[in-house]
Amino acid sequence: MIGVFDSGHGGLTVLRALVDALPGRSFVYLGDHAHAPYGNRTPEEIYGLTVAAVERLFAQGCRLVVLACNTASALALRRLQQTWLPCHHPDRRVLGVLVPMVEAITGVPWMADIPAGRHAGEPRSVAIFATRRTVQSQAYPREIGKRAPEVEVVQQACPDLARLIEEDAPEAEIRRAVRRYTASLMDKLEHGTPSAVMLGCTHYPLVAGEFAAALPAGVDVLDQPALCARSLVHYLARHPEFDDDGGAPVTFLTTGDAAKVTRLATRFFGRPAPFARSIP
């Protein structure tokens, strides 16, 4: 089984793409709704909650877990991979949504040997909308800069947007928030119009149309769920030991109120998503 983790509903957008790309595979989705949102928590809180969630998924029989949460991927994944997994679960793996996006923006494989002082390409700019903690981590500018120093990365924190989407706020309220954040980002750009936009929170694909309407015409909005699904397919082809077949196609778990979570989940997953309470 493959585990998929997010702080709330947002990761269901990634899960749907994974299920579509890998039919016949078994997934366990865990939403930490009891502690959502993560975007306003401290890095230590995010790390601790992420480790606890991964442990729960390992206990469910998952040997591979995808962090379908940009905040957890940006603030917890590297430490988890480098220190926690080798000590506690050396035979298991945890992946994140950050890597596929960086590869898509730079065109450079994550594990490529990058020579110092390599020739930069034509200057271009990439805009990133994300939670406050993802922006503060500087994970995306750091990793993009290593591989494509010619890319100007301009970030915009959207502190309330994930919450508004999670709470199914009125469309007009969400539209106003998106337009406010988009206008703020456009004011920061040195080159006028970004060559691409990355929605760096898995909630945001649900309002991708609002971002496209608020941005200049022709700006490419990257599809994070689709990119993550393609990346996982390639990973499993390289690591068939994690490519398990299993029982039920998808199991949905939450640390919060299962009935309430289930009522909102269909909008994110695009089909019925019956959640059960995850007991520690």
Active site residue 87: no
CB 32 within 8 A of CB 8: yes
Distances (CA, A) of 108 to 112, 155, 226, 253: 7, 21, 18, 35
Judge whether 251 is annotated as a binding position: no
Judge whether 7 is annotated as a binding position: yes
Judge whether 245 is annotated as a binding position: no
Closest residue by Cα to residue 55 from 97, 95, 105, 5? 5
Judge whether 202 is annotated as a binding position: yes
Active site residue 158: no
Closest residue by Cα to residue 267 from 173, 183, 168? 168
Distances (CA, A) of 214 to 33, 186, 219, 225: 30, 10, 10, 21
Which pair of tokens denotes residue 227? Answer: 């990119």
Name the active-site residue from 62, 69, 158, 228.
69
CB 75 within 8 A of CB 82: no
Judge whether 40 is annotated as a binding position: no
Phi and psi at 53, nearest 5°, equal -65, -45
Name the active-site residue from 62, 87, 158, 201.
201
Judge whether 39 is annotated as a binding position: yes
Closest residue by Cα to residue 171 from 213, 202, 201? 213
Binding site per annotation, positions: 6-7, 38-39, 70-71, 202-203
Binding-site positions for substrate: 6-7, 38-39, 70-71, 202-203
Q: Which residues are catalytic?
A: 69, 201
